[in-house]
Amino acid sequence: MVGEYKVRVRNSRNSYSFSLKRNITILRGESGRGKTTLFEMILEHNRFGKSSGVSISCDRGLLALSQERWDEEISKNPGKIIVIDEDSRFIKSKAFAETVREKDNYFLLITRNYLDQLPISVEEIYELYGAKNKRFRRIYKNIDRMYDDPPRAYLPFRPDIIITEDSGSGFQFFKKMADDLGMKCESSGGKSNLLRVMNKYPDKNVALIADGAAIGSEIADLAKQQSLRPKKIAIYLPESFEWIILGAGIVGGVDRAKIDMPERFADSMDYMSWEQYFTDILIKATKNTVFQRYDKAKLPDFYLQDGVQSRVKGFIKGIDLSLLKGFEE
């Protein structure tokens, strides 16, 4: 599936309005907020149609999926939005993650679990607000990709140390930048290690850089730690390092719409997350070039040039990378 889909589900007592534009969307929140009611309304409509008293407006069909034969039901319903309630334990399984990877569906998962087996975007984690007329509201608000709520007076943030989730090209890029600025840069070696590495530096100003397109399973713990250390931690979550390079205009010949409106182009059958989508764009855009040919594991020297680094610094609005700051071990 590809595209953004507006959904409205209603009956005489409740109305829900929301939009979905990625293959995985998470709806969270405490009990009693109406999450299960939404699922049950869709389930009733699936079973009884108009006689259920529920109406659904969407360009795609919605299917409320139960515990029984879930994999068969997904296979039989390509092109539909699959809605799964938090009582369905299978959503935490490896088998479910593999199913999501290969199916032509969008998934709305109503759950308070972290689901670390899935690449969940920080942009697509919602809660319900409103009484009778309910809507989705992002839990983690994008403020120039800094996800700091409320906006802090100390932005742009001046770090002592940069920690990257990436251990390949992204780390190599920011390591060169940090070396030039007299900062320390360290890779966590994966999203599950970010909190541990960040906590190694309790007295330092830490700028954490990770792929927003897949960090959803870790964001709650990171945001909590940020709230405990005000003015000490800035969390910068671009879609991916490749998105930064493309967004900063480092590579020519790329349709800007593909960068600014990925929901129109990133087919869920081809890309498990938008991080994969942007990587594919960058690799294809540079494959016939000598110096720019992008490699996710080993970054070409072209991207380490002062001019490229300067353009990226200008593109990252929330972190001040212009001030030389020393790091003391």
Structure pTM? 0.92
pLDDT at 290 over 90: no
The domain ranges of the chain are 5-138, 161-315
Quote the pLDDT of residue 231.
80
Assign a CATH topology to domain 5-138: Rossmann fold (3.40.50)
Query: Tens of pLDDT along 134-155?
Result: 999 999 988 888 887 655 666 7
Quote the pLDDT of residue 112.
87
pLDDT at 329 over 50: no
**Alpha carbon 181 to chain centroid distance?**
29
Q: How far apart are CA 91 and CA 52, in angstroms?
A: 27
Quote the pLDDT of residue 148.
72
> Nearest-CA neighbor of 22 among 78, 137, 110, 105?
105
pLDDT at 323 over 60: no
Length of the chain counted residue by residue = 329
Single-letter amino acid code for the residue at 161:
I
> Nearest-CA neighbor of 121 among 1, 229, 278?
278
Quote the pLDDT of residue 149.
61
Mean pLDDT of 107-126: 93
